[in-house]
Amino acid sequence: MKLVFATNNPHKMEEIRHLLGPDFEILSLEEIGCNDEIPEDKDTLEENASQKAYYIFDRYKVNCFADDTGLEIDALNGEPGVFSARYAGPQRNSKENVRLVLQKMDKINHRNARFRTVISLILDGIETRFEGIVNGVILKEERGERGFGYDPIFQPEESDLAFAEMSLVEKNMISHRGRAISALVDFLKSTNK
φ and ψ of 28, to 5 deg:
-85, 170
- Asked whether 90 and 143 are in contact (CB, 8 A), the reply is no
CA quadruple 96, 43, 134, 176: dihedral positive or negative?
negative
Residue 17: is it exposed, middle or buried by C-beta count within 10 angstroms (0-12/13-18/19+)?
middle
Known catalytic residue at 74: no
Q: What is d(CA 112, CA 103) in angstroms, rounded to the nearest whole number?
A: 16
CB 66 within 8 A of CB 4: no
Kindly name the residue from 23, 36, 67, 68 that is annotated as catalytic: 68
∠ CA 67-73-75 to the nearest 5 degrees?
Answer: 160
Question: Under a CB-based contact definition with an 8 Å cutoff, are residues 171 and 165 in contact?
Answer: no
| Closest alpha carbon to 73 in 100, 93, 43, 48 | 100
- Name the residues annotated as catalytic: 68
